[in-house]
Amino acid sequence: MSNHMQCPACGQQIPAHKNPVPTVDVVIFFPPQSIVLIERKNFPQGWALPGGFVDYGEKAETAAVREAKEETGLDVVLTDLLGVYSHAGRDPRFHTLSIAYTAVAATKEISPGDDAGKAALFELNNLPDMAFDHHRIVSDFLNKLNGLG
């Protein structure tokens, strides 16, 4: 999508692009059947996968590891790229594009931080309602885990 803006240097009309905001989400897996979710303090509230915005100049993988640490206290190792989720309505605030990863952590010493009110392990067969499109991301993870994806 392109609009126009005035160039601050010459005053001419130039294209101004409106793009989705890049984010990351992380499915932190504890075999055989548990993942980590955070309860968000900010809008939109609810349970969600750890994740957040990619900072300018930051690699998506670095952002995923950083966000997992900030929101759960866990040092994670990314194990796979799960998918890219870009539906315009996935975030009620504005259009985001999420790069979702799978990860593992060495310990289960979870401590919520950043914008997470709580962080906890959940069995994959007993998940709460989730914010954003995280139910779809977890469903894709389950399909991959079960050899269907």
- pLDDT at site 149: 67
Task: Reply yes or no on whether the pLDDT at 114 is more than 80.
Answer: no
Which of the two residues, 1 and 18, has the higher pLDDT score? 18
Amino acid identity of residue 98, one-letter, is S
Task: Reply yes or no on whether the pLDDT at 2 is more than 70.
Answer: no
- pLDDT at site 4: 83
Residue 98: CA atoms inside 13 Å, Cβ hemisphere, count? 26
The CA–CA distances, whole Å, from 2 to 10, 18, 127 equal 20, 6, 40
Tell me the average pLDDT across 115-130: 93
Task: Reply yes or no on whether the pLDDT at 8 is more than 90.
Answer: no
Residue 19 near residue 29, CB atoms below 8 Å: no
- pLDDT at site 15: 84
Task: Reply yes or no on whether the pLDDT at 43 is more than 80.
Answer: yes
- What are the residue boundaries of the structural domains of the chain, listed by start? 19-145
Q: What band does 39 get if pLDDT is binned at 50, 70 and 90?
A: very high
58-84 pLDDT tens trace = 999 999 999 999 999 999 999 999 999
- pLDDT at site 131: 96
Hey, what CATH class is 19-145 in? alpha beta
Within the chain, how many helices (H) and strands (E) appear? 2, 9
* Mean pLDDT score across all residues of the chain: 93
